[in-house]
Structure formats: structure tokens, C-alpha cells
Amino acid sequence: MLILCIWWAGIILEFVLLLRGVQGRLLRRFPFFFSYILFVFLQTILLYCVHHWNRASYPVVYWTCQYIALFVGSLIVFEIYRLALHSYPGTSRMARNALLFIFALTVAKVFVYQTNGALSWLAHAPTELERSVRIVQAFSILALVCVLLIYAIPCSRHVKGILAGYGLMVATSVFDLSLLSHFGDSFKKIWVYAQISSYLFFLMIWLYAMWSPAPEPVHQPEPPLEDYSRIASDTQQELAKLRLGFRKAER
């Protein structure tokens, strides 16, 4: 009964979020985010129907939908990257390099598994596969957030809300799936409740972010740009003076 209530609450919140997207003309600005919400909304209804009328095929439908949702969800990270960094080519380049580094690590890890002949577990352990994808997502979001923080990129409340909600969802998934794969079936019942109820929380974060009429940060006209090597050498000179002073102080 409780799980049905949470399920219905999720459907209602997703519907309200979609309505807000239409009413606030946010669909054009955040196409991937609202595609994701629409997909999860339809997925929830489909899973509800399958759960009621054809319970035997529920796991297959669930995992198929889950993998599609994972792919669509990854596009949200791309959307935030596009929205937040399009005016900042330097930061965009740093973020690209960080994401490439994470991608290279992932490819290397998969390559190691493949050469060990251990790739067959993917077909048998869907939770393991989801956890691996979630970990890659988690590191991608972490890299993006670090770059946004270090370079103090101004973000609207909408973008912050989307990133916070999705990032927390990924972090919770990594946490839950790790416990599930470690403790096995004994944790499964808690996992089901934790997953569904935490999703309600993320929906509320998104609703709160989307409901706030926060204006986009105003991009003031920037001064003419210097060459990066000039900027870096200026900074190095200023730092060198500081270091020289510290060396004197150490003596």
C-alpha cells in the first residue's frame, strides 16, 4: 500500500513538473531534462500497468526502461555542460579535458575486464552494470561541478536545481546499488523503498528549482580577451614575487 502511494505521488509530481515546463516555457531551454522527465513519467505508468497485469515480465520491462533512462539521464549532464559553459570557452575546455580523462579511465577499466573475460557478468548482473554506469555518471558530474566551482561560473537557479537533483540521484543510486551488490537479497526490500522514496525527494528539488522565477545571470560585456599564455605568465610573475618573499621569510 505504501509503495503504491509513493508510486502515485511520483506520477503526480512528474506530471506537475511537466506542466510547469510547458507553462513556464522551459521545454526549449531544457529539452533533455524534460525529455528525461517525460520518459520517466511514461515509464512509471508503464511499470505500474505491467506490475498490475503482467507481473512476470516486470523485471525485463523494468531493466529495459532503466537502461534507456540511464542513457537519457546522461544527456542531462551534457545539457548542463552546454548551458553553463557556452559563454566560457576556457572553462569549457577544462571541463572537456576532465570528462575525457574520466572517459579514458572508464574505457581502460572495461578493456581490463574484457581481457580478463569477465564481461559476461554484465548479462547476468544488471545491478552491477547500472552501478558501473552510475559511477561513471557520478565522476562526470563531480568533474563538472568542480570546474564550475573553481571557475565560479554563474549558473541560474534552474541549472543549479537540475544539477543538484540529478547529481544527488546518481549519488544515491551509487550508494544503494553498492549496498545491494554487497548485501544481496537481504537489502533488496530496503533498496526498493529507498529508491522510490528518494526519487520523490529529487522530484521535489526539481519542482522547487523550476518554480522559482529566477532570472538567468546577466552576462556583463567582458573586456577584450588577452591571449592565455599572457594571462598565465602574468599570474606566474605575481606568484613568483610572493614565493620569493616567503623564501626570504624562511631564512
Partner 1 sequence: MLILVLCIIAAVALVLALVAFSRSRNATDWASVSQGGSTVRQLSRSSFANASAIQEAIFSREDWEFIKREGCPALEELFVSERKAVACYWLTVISSRISAIRHNHLKNSRLAHNLSPGQELRLLGRFLYLSLVCRVGLLVIQLGGPLAPANLTAHIQRIADGLPVARENSFAPLREN
- Residue whose CB is less far from partner 1, 9 or 168: 168
Residues contacting partner 1: total by CB under 8 A: 59
Q: Of these, 10, 131, 203, 206, which contacts partner 1 (CB under 8 A)?
A: 131
Binders in 140-199 for partner 1, by CB under 8 A: 141-142, 145-146, 148-155, 160, 163-164, 167-168, 170-172, 174-175, 177-179, 181-182
Q: Of these, 88, 199, 202, 206, which contacts partner 1 (CB under 8 A)?
A: 88
Measure the CA–CA gap between 191 and 26, rounded to whole angstroms: 33
- Residue whose CB is less far from partner 1, 53 or 246: 246
Q: Of these, 40, 135, 162, 210, which contacts partner 1 (CB under 8 A)?
A: 135
Q: At closest approach, how far in Å is the CB of 239 from partner 1?
A: 5
Residue from 104, 178, 103, 99 nearest 143 by CA = 99
Q: Hey, what's the cell of 2?
A: 505504501
Binders in 188-247 for partner 1, by CB under 8 A: 217, 222, 225-229, 231-232, 234-236, 238-239, 241-243, 245-246
Q: Name the DSSP letter for residue 155.
A: -
Measure the CA–CA gap between 200 and 173, rounded to whole angstroms: 14
Measure the CA–CA gap between 110 and 67, rounded to whole angstroms: 18
Scanning 20-28, 58-66, 87-95, 187-195 for contacts with partner 1 by CB under 8 A, the matching segment is 87-95
Q: At closest approach, how far in Å is the CB of 29 from partner 1?
A: 18
Cell numbers 605568465 correspond to 233
Q: Are the C-beta atoms of 98 and 150 separated by less than 8 Å? A: no
- Residue whose CB is less far from partner 1, 193 or 228: 228
Q: At closest approach, how far in Å is the CB of 42 from partner 1?
A: 27
Q: At closest approach, how far in Å is the CB of 161 from partner 1?
A: 9
- Residue whose CB is less far from partner 1, 10 or 161: 161
Q: At closest approach, how far in Å is the CB of 245 from partner 1?
A: 3
* Number of C-beta neighbours around residue 235 at 10 A: 10
Which 3-state string (H, E, C) describes 175-243?
Answer: HHHHHHHHHHHHHHHHHHHHHHHHHHHHHHHHHHHHHCCCCCCCCCCCCCCCCHHHHHHHHHHHHHHHH
* Greatest alpha-carbon span in the chain: 81
The one-letter amino acid code at 9 reads: A
The distance of Cα 180 from the centroid of its chain, to the nearest Å, equals: 21
Chain residues in the site for partner 1 (CB under 8 A): 88-91, 93-94, 97, 131, 135, 138-139, 141-142, 145-146, 148-155, 160, 163-164, 167-168, 170-172, 174-175, 177-179, 181-182, 217, 222, 225-229, 231-232, 234-236, 238-239, 241-243, 245-246, 248-249
